[in-house]
Amino acid sequence: MNKEWWKESVVYQVYPRSFNDSNGDGIGDIKGITERLDYLKELGIDVIWLSPVYKSPNDDNGYDISDYEDIMDDFGTMEDMDELLRESNKKGIKILMDLVVNHTSDEHKWFIEAKKSQDNPYRDYYIWRDPVNGEEPNDLRSTFSGSAWQYDEGSDQYYLHLFSKKQPDLNWENEEVRNKVYDMMNFWIDKGIGGFRMDVIELIGKIPDEKIKENGPKLHDYIKEMNKKTFGNKNLLTVGEAWCSNPEIARQYSNPDGSELSMIFQFEHILLDQQPGKEKWDLKPLELLDLKKALSRWQVELEGTGWNSLFWNNHDVPRIVSRWGNDKEYRVESAKMLATLLHGMKGTPYIYQGEELGMTNIRFENLNDYKDIETLNMYNERIEQGYKHEDIMQSIYTKGRDNARTPIQWDDSENAGFTTGEPWIKVNPNYKEINAKSQLNDENSIFNYYKKLIKIRKLNPIIVYGEYKLILEENKEIFAYTRTLENEKILVICNFTESETKFILDEQIEFKYREFLISNYDLDVNEPIDNIVLRPYEARIHKFVLN
């Protein structure tokens, strides 16, 4: 058992644009985050993952960076950032910076130079190719629709952009690029940050000519080099975003020998409502057995050999209570059930802002209310391809990234207390009912349930280090598992349906004594544990001290 602080921690993701606006311009900012540190301390989290706050023209909400060592005007100044670091560190909260180095903005000085001519010293910082038969070098597609190649008239070449055309891909083959990135990372490490979340890190080893995007042959060499030249001996948390991974690759990334990263952030359980081989917008119904399989595979296959992140939400995926839960009559119960399932597993839990309040998806009738480049590009492309408006809107309601990007609902005042101005994206109208203020003082709130889950983690090493085992594998309504550490065992039981469901334990647990750690319903502590009727979305964690 390799003990590490980042295994015992809980991370909270802040998407600054939508978190808290301190100056009334309608856009969340860094001072706004500092103002809310007490709230995060109250929740009990250890680390903030800060989505990008660097200088950026905001084509992709900050994931297009024009200066890595400066702060976006909308968000404040470097002094504000230093203050946030100081104040959070005082409270024992570390800050994880978002490292976006697969690409820069086209307004980064490197790209402005590179574009000037084929022999500019910065040209090779990016990936340029000659036209083939007067067209794109190949049919690589951008994640944000259309070709991944953009023609540059001035030099009669195409450059690669796996995201928007304002996000040109850096050329990681170029040693100078790599060293510049490492210098920048050290700049931030010297400021006292807690680590990095690495944006689409799996893409940096790409070979565009062979149409290899993820997991290119040099990927792990680059990560090892980065590790040695930056965070390697600094005891930081490093987490790599990886959409196309498997446990074998994850064991490389998160090798316990510390040669690469602390953990990965993979999406197998998030992709379950997508038709195989199609795009994320091509929906298929969710099946509990698929979820069990996906989550359990990673639990079992990384046991003792790697480390995973546990998450339901981030700024790219829809709200979990609207997905696997019921965001209407059982919103509170199902949000708590989903939290129980995840926080009982092995890995480092991530809470995405608003998840701790049970915030829900958004449904804008008017396309103009959507702000996300991915959504808008997809809409235009599909309209051109002849899809029906209603079908596209259905995909957006289910999967669009703006579902997760509406402002945090702080209270029931105008604009949910997020801003005194006009919010950059509309607030979810359900803020009168769902908001932080009403939950802080309600001991049965979702907020206080998350707080309790975090506390349980701190008090029970078995939650961090216990070995996972799925039980009732074929049950289509209940997701249940055990964790075992030395002479302790916990049993996590979650009803994924809105009906009563019988739970029958299929193995005997011999124990000296037991306790209930948590449940989203009132429990009779003397009730037997092996044959019970679970209420709608009921969840519970039992702990046993074994014979």
Active site residues: 199, 241
Q: How far is the CB of 62 from ligand NOJ (least distance, A)?
A: 9
Which residue, 163 or 312, is less far from ligand NOJ as judged by CB? 163
199 binds ligand NOJ (CB under 6 A): yes
Phi-psi sector, 15: left (phi>0), alpha (psi -120 to 50), beta: beta
Provide the mask over 75-114, with x wherever binding to ligand NOJ is found by CB under 6 A and - wherever it is not.
Answer: -------------------------x--------------
What's the maximum distance between 2 C-alpha atoms anywhere in the chain? 78
Residues 9-48, interacting with ligand NOJ (CB under 6 A): none
**Shortest CA distance to 319 belongs to which of 224, 201, 231, 402?**
402
The CA-CA-CA angle for residues 416, 417, 422, to 5°, reads 80
Q: How far is the CB of 485 from ligand NOJ (least distance, A)?
A: 33
424 binds ligand NOJ (CB under 6 A): no
The tokens of 337 are what? 């059930």
Provide the mask over 159-188, with x wherever binding to ligand NOJ is found by CB under 6 A and - wherever it is not.
Answer: ----x-------------------------
Contacts of residue 485, defined as CB under 8 A and 6 or more positions apart, other chains included, come to 461, 462, 465, 466, 467
Q: How far is the CB of 318 from ligand NOJ (least distance, A)?
A: 14
* Main-chain phi, psi angles of 511, to 5 degrees: -140, 155
Which residue, 62 or 466, is less far from ligand NOJ as judged by CB? 62
Which residue, 280 or 315, is less far from ligand NOJ as judged by CB? 315
Which residue, 95 or 539, is less far from ligand NOJ as judged by CB? 95
Q: Which residues pair with 54 in a beta bridge?
A: 71
Residue 31 to residues 17, 238, 287, 353, Cα–Cα distance (Å): 12, 25, 42, 16
Among 63, 298, 307, 350, binds ligand NOJ (CB under 6 A): 63
Among 48, 184, 200, 462, binds ligand NOJ (CB under 6 A): 200
316 binds ligand NOJ (CB under 6 A): yes
Which residue, 46 or 199, is less far from ligand NOJ as judged by CB? 199
Tokens 């051109």 found at = 384
How many of the chain's residues bind ligand NOJ (CB under 6 A)?
8
372 binds ligand NOJ (CB under 6 A): no
**Shortest CA distance to 489 belongs to which of 529, 448, 538, 524?**
529
Residues 259-298, interacting with ligand NOJ (CB under 6 A): none
Which residue, 63 or 298, is less far from ligand NOJ as judged by CB? 63
**Shortest CA distance to 262 belongs to which of 180, 342, 201, 188?**
201
| Per-residue burial over 359-373, b = 16 or more CB atoms within 10 Å of its CB, e = otherwise | bbbbebeeeeebbbb
392 binds ligand NOJ (CB under 6 A): no
Among 21, 46, 59, 60, binds ligand NOJ (CB under 6 A): 60
Which residue, 241 or 538, is less far from ligand NOJ as judged by CB? 241
Q: How far is the CB of 316 from ligand NOJ (least distance, A)?
A: 5
Q: How far is the CB of 315 from ligand NOJ (least distance, A)?
A: 6
Is the CB of residue 480 less than 8 Å from the CB of residue 493? Answer: yes
d(CA 275, CA 266): 18
Going through 89-127 in order, the beta strands assigned E by DSSP cover 94-99
Q: How far is the CB of 203 from ligand NOJ (least distance, A)?
A: 9
d(CA 460, CA 449): 16
Q: How far is the CB of 281 from ligand NOJ (least distance, A)?
A: 15
Please state the three-class secondary structure of 376-424 as a single string. Answer: HHHHHHHHHCCCCHHHHHHHHHHHCHHHHCCCCCCCCCHHHHCCCCCCC
Nearest-CB residue to ligand NOJ? Answer: 63
Which chain residues interact with ligand NOJ by CB under 6 A? 60, 63, 100, 163, 199-200, 315-316
